[in-house]
Amino acid sequence: MSKSTSNSVRGCPGFRQATRFSRRQMLQAGALSALGLGLGDFHSQLAAAAANGGPAPKAKACIFLFMWGGPSQLETFDLKPDAPAEVRGDFKPISTKVPGTQICEHFSRIAQWTDKLAIIRSLTHNDPAHLSSGHATLTGQLAPVVKSDADPPSSKDSPHLGSLISKFRPGDAGLPSFVAMPWKALHPAAPGGEAPGQHGGWLGSAYDGMLLTGDLNDPKWRPQGLGLPADLGLDRLESRVALLKKLDAQRADLHQSLAGAAFNNHQSRAIEMVGSAKVRSAFDLTQETDATRERYGRNIHGQSVLMARRLVEHGVPLVSVNWHNDGKNFWDTHGDNFNRMKNDLMPPADMALAALLQDLEDRGMLDETIVAWVGEFGRKPRISQNNAGREHWPFCYSGLLAGGGIQGGAVYGESDKHAAYPVSDPVTPQDFATTILHAMGVDTSATLLDRENRPHHVCSGRVLQDLLIG
């Protein structure tokens, strides 16, 4: 593995108190119910790490860019220019900021930021199904039913990484701890439809996260549920809150139960969210300059990534950007692979990731924000003759990590001459997720209880120690 000289890691400020939202509020928001039952704050984790002589967590937040559909490793970060034409494809490798590291010519902006990236070329598993492998990618755990595109989300799913972070690392007051956008990943060709692993799973619906839907590049786009109705000002809202309190006082028997107490707290958080100018500001893309919005790309992916930066900057611990519904099967390029990649997929991905890394660096946030870029699998190292596409290939593919204590300028793992199988340092989706959680200060050996008090391991992978600074 090659490594660049790392910058010193900026100290992470403490995380705030738990944030909670009611199911009612999230339904009104057109979102998943949001979270915030924390197990402790970041200060205590720092103190515990120092007392035990271990490394302190580096990452304050995570932006998870999920390239739904499965990007081809051979057209992105692991080109094989010496392979036969039916394997290598049309694209050429280009040099990057790190000597000796090459990536695809259509990632020219990302090429200027490879000194901040860890490129993993040895991701591998054996599940060729979108839905179950999507679950593994987003949760770091195997799906309840593996190798299946027929099994939709269920309460048996493992929690999304954002749901776990919400449990351990709650967000700022009034803000959700986990936000996903611009939709819940779904594949129309899969009988199960929506990918499992995008909610609280066995942790319960209180940890589902907040979902922002729609085209964030649309000038008329507004986050659902954060504005007040035109006929309801803050004064009227406060009077209604007072009335609710009187009604609630008459239901003391309900409030004495745990569920009633929890709902009362969720209700208060919902009111705080709707009435908070700070929260509304965090979700307001119009506060960004036109130049910044153009740099990210005036498209749904670019503006979603920009929103992710805004939310992290305001204190949301984990934001997941799922590649959007483009009506063309996303990165699932069974046909016309090269035109789809060159014209539709790579340009917005290239712009958005480069702009995000630049913004985080310029704002002094990169050292404490981990950025992940990955799909659920790769593509077969043989081009389909009939339609110039590539089929599913989970046995070897590429992903990226950056910031938040990750060693920049690194290439981890190596694939064979056709990018078909790893020949060194294989990395599973579980390892990828476990490394993120470790960098964020989560005890990866911990167990959590589900709603029926059954224990579950938080992680089932290993930490990629060679990718961590210090």
pLDDT in tens, 141-161: 999 999 999 999 999 999 999
- Asked if the peptide bond before residue 182 counts as cis, ω within 30 degrees of 0, the response is yes
Residue 270 pLDDT grade (very low, low, confident, very high; cuts 50, 70, 90): low
Mean pLDDT value of segment 243-258: 50
pLDDT at 226 over 70: no
d(CA 452, CA 15): 29
Closest C-alpha to 17, from 37, 44, 47: 37
Is the pLDDT at 3 greater than 60? The verdict is no
Highest mean pLDDT among 22-31, 248-257, 271-280, 334-343: 334-343
Q: For residue range 429-444, what is the model confidence (pLDDT) as tens digits? A: 999 999 999 999 999 9
8 A C-beta contact, residue 200 and residue 178: no
Q: State what percent of residues in the chain have pLDDT above 70.
A: 76
The model's pLDDT over 113-131, given as tens digits with 9 standing for 90+, comes to: 999 999 999 999 999 999 9
The helix-helix angle for 346-362 and 300-314 (nearest 10°) equals 20
Question: Are the beta carbons of 403 and 360 closer than 8 angstroms?
Answer: yes
Looking at 3.40.720.10, 3.30.420.40, 2.40.33.10, 3.30.1360.120, the CATH number of the domain 23-226+283-467 comes to: 3.40.720.10
Look at 34-43, 139-148, 181-190, 302-311 and tell me which has the smallest mean pLDDT: 34-43
**Would you state the pLDDT for residue 224?**
79
**pLDDT of 260 above 50:** no
The answer to which of 8-22, 348-362, 394-408 has the lowest mean pLDDT is: 8-22
Cβ count near 392 (within 10 Å): 19
What's phi and psi for 34, nearest 5 deg? -95, 175
What are the extents of the domains in the chain? 23-226+283-467
**Confidence check: pLDDT of 56 > 60:** yes
**Residue 470: band (very low, low, confident or very high) from pLDDT cuts 50, 70, 90:** confident
Q: Taking 60 as the threshold, does the pLDDT of residue 425 lie above it?
A: yes
The span from the CA of 105 to the CA of 110, in Å, is 10
Q: What is the mean pLDDT of residues 184-212?
A: 96
Residue 55 confidence (pLDDT) above 90: no
Q: Note whether 339 and 357 are within 8 A (CB).
A: no
Mean pLDDT is lowest, of 67-71, 192-196, 264-268, 453-457, for 264-268
User: Between the CA atoms of 123, 65, 408 and 114, what dihedral angle is there, to the nearest 10 degrees?
Assistant: 90
- Percent of the chain at pLDDT exceeding 90: 73
- Could you tell me the two tokens for 463? 């930490």
Q: Residues 88-118: pLDDT tens digits?
A: 999 999 999 999 999 999 999 999 999 999 9
> What integer is the mean pLDDT of 208-236?
76
The pLDDT of residue 172 is above 70: no
Question: Residues with Cβ < 8 Å from 305, sequence gap 6 or more?
Answer: 63, 65, 296, 321, 352, 353, 355, 356
Query: Which is more confident, 354 or 50?
Result: 354
What's the distance, Cα to Cα, between the start and end of the chain in Å? 16
Q: Is the pLDDT of residue 195 over 50?
A: yes
Pairwise CA distance, residues 285 & 307, whole Å: 7
Note the pLDDT of residue 417. Answer: 98
